Amino acid sequence: MFNTITIVGVGLISGSFSLILKERGWVKHVIGVSRTEQSIKKALELGLIDEALPLEEAVKKSDLIYVAIPVDATIPVMQKILDCVNEKQIVVDAGSTKQVLCDALANHPMRRRFVATHPMWGTEYSGPEAAVSNAFAGRVCVVCEKEKSDSDAVETVEGVYKQLGMHVTYMDADAHDIHAAYVSHISHITSFALANTVLEKEKEENAIFELAGGGFESTVRLAKSSPAMWLPIFQQNREHVLDVLNEHITQLRKFKSCLEKENYTYLQELMENANKINRIIK
Amino acid sequence: MFNTITIVGVGLISGSFSLILKERGWVKHVIGVSRTEQSIKKALELGLIDEALPLEEAVKKSDLIYVAIPVDATIPVMQKILDCVNEKQIVVDAGSTKQVLCDALANHPMRRRFVATHPMWGTEYSGPEAAVSNAFAGRVCVVCEKEKSDSDAVETVEGVYKQLGMHVTYMDADAHDIHAAYVSHISHITSFALANTVLEKEKEENAIFELAGGGFESTVRLAKSSPAMWLPIFQQNREHVLDVLNEHITQLRKFKSCLEKENYTYLQELMENANKINRIIK
């Protein structure tokens, strides 16, 4: 499918992307770009990439450039990439926020070679070692501002995601960011805050974690996520995340108020309402 | 190991308990007690129990009686059971709260035949169909007020849990309830509240759940939990749950305040602190 691709960032998302394309024989040669020498070394070792090159050199040799780095770094890197590409090359990003990036690239003369995507898959781990070959399948990939990208570029990128088993859906960048705040960003904040809640208690009670069972593990798992990755997401999506966080605190206060007032009828209603998530999450 | 045991309640916990003991040949005959005809039928069908009997009849025939029903129902049922048992029978409960139950049974003449346990295992599912044969292993089981139970009873019960692969630990009932509030009950409240947060949004945005990815699923999974089971847990552990919930809301407000004030240095610190959960949760 491709002769050469470049992955910018050699971590969880880009590493998994490369791994799968290589495994399936869809790419002959993968170039890695990273500021971190150790990540490059590890990515070469794990076979995620075949060689490492500086950004511009890598871009020039590639049919497709796949960018998956912290969202604040994406903007200047993407501008540099678009400065180098020709009419046949395709540039994709996989970031968790879309509005700020799309706005920053809106007037770039090569904007149409860029496809803004967010494959809604991830784990709490990061770095080359986190890459896995069963990534992406069964999840949704959002493509934003499809109409601003050349249709051949969109088709190629969609084709890859679909063959990875993803369901492709379209949104404008702002709608994406609102939705992502609800179904992803808030989960990370609640997990971070829950970890801090329990770590606070741990100061007086060393034994507390001995008990931590399955339920706790799954709700707190995302608290292991990388701040380097999540801080710029929260920055860029600040307003939407704040809206959802306010709503979430309001919902938690309802539980609090029920307990304080011993209003168990309403507490039961709140839980029964939450059970409706059954319809959605299998 | 046992000739006959009775499970009171034929759901997730008791059903799994029976299933494993039967599979390993540790019990010849399992009697089920349940108020719900349909659950009995299902439990017989699934081979979780060999026969169904009314409580008193079942208890009389059993070496060990294992009670796993909503914690408000446990108290009267346990009193009835202790009224029937002799010096050789053993009674165990598996409930998520311990103080109220232990207090209620404190002066029962047969208190010493009762072992108060909380195997810290569960899933978001309930009922006989939820029973699985890989339950319990690798998790902690808390035994409360060990000194109030006959040592032969404690040894037998601990022996079973240990052979199921559990690590047994001891606490007084109040300490258990505090710890359970931190590592289990609060996770359920945050999940219920997160589900309600997103369901609220869904009223205007039908497509929102299309995007729900892995992170969201794991943090919201517990919102499927049964209100019939969790309402009495929150009632009985009200004060500790309120303490933890207040602390959790305080922690969430820190995230909120960082975002409002764009204090990203502190936001990063909050996340880095949460990462310390790495030490604990593998």
Q: What is the pLDDT of residue B278?
A: 85
Q: What is the pLDDT of residue A211?
A: 73
- As a whole number of angstroms, the distance between CA A35 and CA A33 comes to 7
- As a whole number of angstroms, the distance between CA B134 and CA B219 comes to 23
Closest CA to B241 of B172, B162, B188: B188
pLDDT, mean of each 10-residue run, chain A (282 residues): 96 96 97 96 97 98 98 97 98 97 98 97 92 93 97 98 95 94 93 92 72 77 93 97 96 97 97 90 71
Tokens of residue A266, six digits: 């309403």
What's the farthest any 2 CA atoms get from each other in chain B? 67
In A, minimum Cα distance to B278 occurs at: A224
In A, minimum Cα distance to B263 occurs at: A235
Q: Give the residue, B123 or B88, on which the prediction is more confident.
A: B88
Please give, rounded to a whole number of angstroms, the shortest distance from the CA of B53 to a CA of chain A: 31
Task: Give the total residue count for chain B.
Answer: 282
Burial of A135 from C-beta contacts in 10 A (0-12 / 13-18 / 19+): buried
Residue of A142, A184, A255 lying closest to B216 (CB–CB): A184
Neighbour order of strands in the sheet with A51-52: A51-52, A27-33, A2-8, A64-67, A90-93, A114-119, A140-144, A167-171
Cβ contact A218–B222 (<8 Å): yes
Degrees, nearest 5: CA angle B7-B11-B16 = 75
Q: Which residues of B touch A270 (CB under 8 A)?
A: 192-193, 196
Place of tokens 């029978």: B89
Query: What is the rounded radius of gyration, in angstroms, for the C-alpha atoms of chain B?
Result: 21
Query: What is the rounded radius of gyration, in angstroms, for the C-alpha atoms of chain A?
Result: 21
Cβ contact A194–B251 (<8 Å): yes
Q: What is the pLDDT of residue B281?
A: 74
In B, minimum Cα distance to A120 occurs at: B213
Tokens of residue A59, six digits: 């871009």
Please give, rounded to a whole number of angstroms, the shortest distance from the CA of B84 to a CA of chain A: 33
Q: What is the pLDDT of residue A281?
A: 75
Cβ contact B255–A183 (<8 Å): no
Q: How confident is the model at residue B213 (pLDDT cuts 50, 70, 90)?
A: low
Q: Which residues of A touch B120 (CB under 8 A)?
A: 211-213
Cβ contact B194–A251 (<8 Å): yes
Q: How confident is the model at residue B203 (pLDDT cuts 50, 70, 90)?
A: confident
Q: What is the pLDDT of residue B38?
A: 97
Q: What is the pLDDT of residue A39?
A: 97
Q: What is the pLDDT of residue A213?
A: 66
Beta bridge partners of B114: B91
**Among A215-219, A223-227, B126-130, B149-153, the least confident range:** A215-219
Residue of A123, A212, A234 lying closest to B281 (CB–CB): A212
Domains of chain A by range and CATH? 2-172 (3.40.50.720), 176-279 (1.10.3660.10)
Residue of B182, B200, B220 lying closest to A208 (CB–CB): B182
Averaged pLDDT, B197-217 = 76
- Is residue A93 within 8 Å of residue A70, measured between CB atoms? no
Tokens of residue B142, six digits: 């808390």
In A, minimum Cα distance to B120 occurs at: A213
Q: How confident is the model at residue B282 (pLDDT cuts 50, 70, 90)?
A: low
In A, minimum Cα distance to B182 occurs at: A198
Give the tens place of pLDDT for each residue, B20-55.
999 999 999 999 999 999 999 999 999 999 999 999
Q: Which long-range contacts (CB under 8 A, 24 or more apart) does A73-80 make?
A: A73/A232, A74/A101, A75/A100, A75/A101, A75/A104, A75/A105, A77/A8, A78/A104, A78/A105, A78/A114, A79/A104, A79/A105, A79/A108, A80/A55, A80/A56
Q: Which residues of B touch A244 (CB under 8 A)?
A: 197, 201
What pTM was estimated for this model as a whole? 0.90
Q: What is the DSSP string of chain A?
A: -EEEEEEES-SHHHHHHHHHHHHTT-EEEEEEE-S-HHHHHHHHHTTS-SEE--HHHHHHT-SEEEE-S-HHHHHHHHHHHHHH--TT-EEEE--S--HHHHHHHTT-TTGGGEEEEEE----S--SGGG--TT-STTSEEEEE-GGGS-HHHHHHHHHHHHHTTPEEEEE-HHHHHHHHIIIIIHHHHHHHHHHHHHHHHHTT-GGGGGG--HHHHHHHGGGGS-HHHHHHHHHHTHHHHHHHHHHHHHHHHHHHHHHHHT-HHHHHHHHHHHHGGGGT--
ipTM: 0.90
Residue of B179, B216, B273 lying closest to A199 (CB–CB): B273
Give the tens place of pLDDT for each residue, B75-103.
999 999 999 999 999 999 999 999 999 99
Q: Which residues of B touch A223 (CB under 8 A)?
A: 274-275, 277
Cβ contact B276–A199 (<8 Å): yes
Q: Which residues of B touch A72 (CB under 8 A)?
A: none
- Is residue B186 within 8 Å of residue B244, measured between CB atoms? yes
- As a whole number of angstroms, the distance between CA B148 and CA B126 comes to 31
